[in-house]
Amino acid sequence: MKTFAALLQRDITVLIRDLPEFVVRIAMQPFLFVFVFGYVLPNAGQVQPSYANLLLPGILAASMMMAGVQGTAIPLSQDFGAIKEIEDRLMAPIRISMVVLEKIVMGTLQSWIAGGLVFPIAWIIMRNNLSVHVQSFITLFVLLFLVGIASAATGITLGTSISPFKIPLMFATIIIPMIFLGAAYYPWHALGNVAWLQKVILINPMVYAAEGFRSVLTPKVEHIRQLYVILGLLAAITVLSGIGLRGFVKRAYS
């Protein structure tokens, strides 16, 4: 455990050192979406002011998923790249599964920080149009916990599968579709007339993140049942963590 704590402390130290850049990176996306869709368009009469209530859970989910994926996939891809920095960690007296766990913990922490930034940004910009009622703080914390881990597990899977040179391709072909097809800016039930797409996107953990937050923050909006949301997130964590661990081991010994 001492080695695990040392690895975690090292990454936290780097995060604190680069904290201004980190905050700008993870805050820019939710700020722009909240500002445009939650302030500009309602005041321009292009969307209903009540859209802010539909938007907040999706922005929270998208921000957390993006931060967790970026916080694990990009550094891990670089570690396995030309610099081979991952070798320093592999030489540590610790099991390889614990190295993967440390990466997941670090990505989860970054995801939680991103989620924490969304609330003040949304309140400052959209407070006049928001009508948020937290149905259960316990459920909210459970969802924040699970979404953070799911985002980091997604990042581990991508980071062990993609080279540093293909990171832009990853965003274009995986991350952006994952967000826009993740029920972030519309409820999952709204796709009822596009039944095939509604079913296909259930493989996307973003759907469960957005629908879960929607069920807690804006329960009046139609949403997937919380039980199915939690089961979906647990399934995503299990599958993605397993794939990520196998990919990590394969890259480490290749």
Provide block-wise average pLDDT over 10 residues at a time, the chain (254 residues): 79 84 84 85 82 88 92 81 63 77 91 91 85 87 96 93 82 89 92 93 96 92 94 96 89 73
Find the length of the chain. 254
Nearest CA to 123 out of 59, 187, 214 is that of: 59
Query: What is the structure's pLDDT at 239?
Result: 96
Where b means 16+ CB within 10 Å and e means fewer, 141-179 reads ebbbebbbbbbbbbbbbbbbbbeeeebeebbeebbeebb
- What DSSP state is assigned to residue 162? S
- How many structural domains comprise the chain? 1
In this structure, what token pair is assigned to residue 151?
């985002």
The Cα–Cα gap between 175 and 21 comes to 21
Query: What is the structure's pLDDT at 81?
Result: 65
Angle at 6 between CA 27 and CA 145, to 5 degrees: 45
Query: What is the structure's pLDDT at 141?
Result: 95
First and final C-alpha spacing in the chain: 27
Domain with 114 in it? 2-252
Query: What is the structure's pLDDT at 254?
Result: 67
Query: What is the structure's pLDDT at 83?
Result: 59
Residue pair 110/69 in contact by the 8 Å Cβ criterion: no
Residue pair 88/10 in contact by the 8 Å Cβ criterion: no
